[in-house]
Amino acid sequence: MKRSFVFLVLSAFALLSIQSCQKETGEEFASVQVELTSGITAPNAAGDEPFDFLKAGKVGFATNAGDRDSVVFSGNTGSLSGKCKVKSAATQMWCYSAGSSGEIQTYSVPSVSEGLENMVFCSETISLEGNEPYKSTVTPLTSGVVLELLDSKGTWAGKDVRSVTIKSDYGKPLAGDIILCLKESRVGQLKNSTDNISFAFAEGSVKIGTASTPASLSAAILPCSFTGTIDLVGDGFTATLTISQPLYLQAGYVKHIQVDMAMAKVEAEVTKHFPYRVGIMGDSISTFEGVIPSNHRKYYPTDGCDVDTWQKTYWGQLITNYWHCELDVNTSWSGSSVADGKEGTVRTPFVDHSRLDLFKNPDVIILFGGTNDASASNGIGLGEFNYDTPLDKMNTTKRFRDAYIYVIRYLQEKHPGVLIICIIGTHVTGEYGNSVETIAKHFSLPYVDFRGDSKVTIYSGSHPNAAGHAHKAQRIYEETLSLFQ
């Protein structure tokens, strides 16, 4: 009985299996030719360009007969075609971004590291009635943004950015899971939505560009009317650009958003490190031929003096022996003063913008002047400690204090976060030397005072020999060391 029972059960199972296979293999299929075209071809009212999201490759398809599959479509810009194997009972069909399955299709907005290439799309309902090819217009479901990272003033150009985050005001979604209800040919609800999206970098960071060559980052996000912030975290700084005027991000179009550091709120991180790039602004003591601009008058090298390479100057030793950094620009000019003097007596002064605007991207500037201002023959008066007058209203021509203050304020405004180190030379006498000390203290700037320092050995006049320069470099290093360590 037991064997007979087992046999009967097995026989019944085998019969059911055979019938099931016959039913499955008995299903009829048809191969249908489908052509897809983009629903957008021209810029929108805001001037945004449409994105060519229809590219050769896998396209998903579904039918009302239960088909769920993908096939390779081929073609060119804005137009694709492919053959899909569907059940003969199917009368309606939909095509969509490949990669999902099920009655209700779910798509996550593409990762920003994938850029715009994976914009989500879905076709209109395709009726499988009549003659092939069956045609449909494809509707994009996501929007594209391209962030252009730049600094129109050049201050932060070349700096590394480690992360960029777009955050929407009022919790408006920028990313999430799009639900497609294919049988109803509509977009359903949005799930797992977020109001921010962060950019991922394949190389770990991206460098800020200039106005002519910005760095570009792209992402596919949800269409919306966007206001909010764009936050950057970079090498030694954080920055926030506020978008207060609504930007309309339309599905299928690409909106370019310029992230200009000159328009952003930038905060330098309080981190200590030796300088990366040092700028020098001085008179003859700070010159060296071939390093300063060719039209600037030099003192070093000079016959009989052992300062025969720029590395033997005080600033050269700071760069090569102590700070191990790069020179930004040396704007020094032999015989020059901070302020201007009587006509024909003083060469291009520190306050002249042909010198002030030469710096590129320094994080430290050494300001070493005053010797020629203190010389009575140049006719430069002391002036006032004028800290509050707008820069464009200041009298910087003939007065030492006004000119020195102007130079500091202008450099700080043009190069946010720059550290200015003031040097009081051995021959910056009387109230001129005292004024540098007072001004440096007002701005909380470090200063090194060489007045009365007998170890600054001299070659001629006020010009140190190699040993004098070496002593200057060592003192500047030691007296500013706490700023960097």
pLDDT tens digit string along 55-90? 889 999 999 998 989 999 999 878 999 999 999 999
Indicate the range of 21-25, 282-286, 288-292, 371-375 predicted with least confidence: 21-25
* Model pLDDT, residue 397: 67
Fold for 27-140, please state it: Immunoglobulin-like (2.60.40)
Please say if the pLDDT value at position 340 is more than 80: yes
User: Of the ranges 53-57, 344-348, 381-385, 456-460, which is most confident?
Assistant: 456-460
Neighbour-count burial for 47-67, b at 16+ CB within 10 Å, e otherwise: ebebbbbbeeeebbbbbbbeb
The two counts, helices (H) then strands (E), for the chain are: 6, 28
Please say if the pLDDT value at position 19 is more than 60: no
Q: Which of 432, 431, 423, 404 is nearest to 464 (CA)?
A: 423
Q: Which CATH superfamily is domain 277-484 in?
A: SGNH hydrolase (3.40.50.1110)
**pTM over 0.85, yes/no:** no
pLDDT grade for 386, boundaries at 50, 70 and 90: confident
- Per the DSSP assignment, residues forming a β-bridge with 364 are 278, 419
Q: Which two tokens stand for residue 394?
A: 């200041």
The domain segmentation of the chain, as residue ranges, is 27-140, 143-174+192-268, 277-484
pLDDT grade for 188, boundaries at 50, 70 and 90: confident
Per DSSP, 118 falls in state T
* Model pLDDT, residue 198: 87
* Model pLDDT, residue 345: 57
More confident position, 286 or 157? 286
pLDDT tens digit string along 107-152? 888 767 678 887 888 888 999 999 999 999 988 889 999 999 999 8
* Model pLDDT, residue 2: 29
In contact, 76 and 40? CB cutoff 8 Å: no
Rounded to whole angstroms, how far apart are CA atoms 111 and 125? 28
Please determine whether the domains at 27-140 and 143-174+192-268 fall in the same fold group of CATH: yes
Torsion sign over Cα 171, 173, 176, 179: positive
In contact, 110 and 120? CB cutoff 8 Å: yes
Rounded to whole angstroms, how far apart are CA atoms 139 and 158? 39
pLDDT grade for 439, boundaries at 50, 70 and 90: very high
Percent of residues, the chain, with pLDDT higher than 70: 90
Q: Which two tokens stand for residue 380?
A: 């430069």
CATH number, domain 143-174+192-268: 2.60.40.2630
Q: Which two tokens stand for residue 79?
A: 């137009």
- Cis before residue 464, ω within 30 degrees of 0? no
